[in-house]
A = this chain, B = another copy of it.
Amino acid sequence: MPYVNIKITREGGPEGTGPSAQDKARLIKGVTDLLQEVLGKSPATTFVVIDEVALEDWGIGGLPVETYRATLR
């Protein structure tokens, strides 16, 4: 009975405001299938929770992610 939490930045997708519901459904299916294939976990008791995180709330390299990316250009 796995529990999987996927955190991603809120960006991209059809309107630039995050992944579409279809993409999220693909993530849910892909992770659930993976746990079944590798560890034999039952999909019926596999939970997947996706969190979208605003860009200003995600830091890497000591900077908010947008600022960090600008330093890489």
Contact = CB atoms under 8 A, between A and B. Distances in A.
Interface in A36-69: 37-41, 43-53, 56-65, 67
A33 B61 CA distance: 9
Interface residues of A, number: 52
A61 B51 CA distance: 18
- How many copies of this protein are present in the complex? 6
A62 B42 CA distance: 10
A53 B48 CA distance: 11
A27 B35 contact: yes
Contacts of A19: 38-39
A70 interface: no
Interface in A15-40: 19, 21, 23-35, 37-40
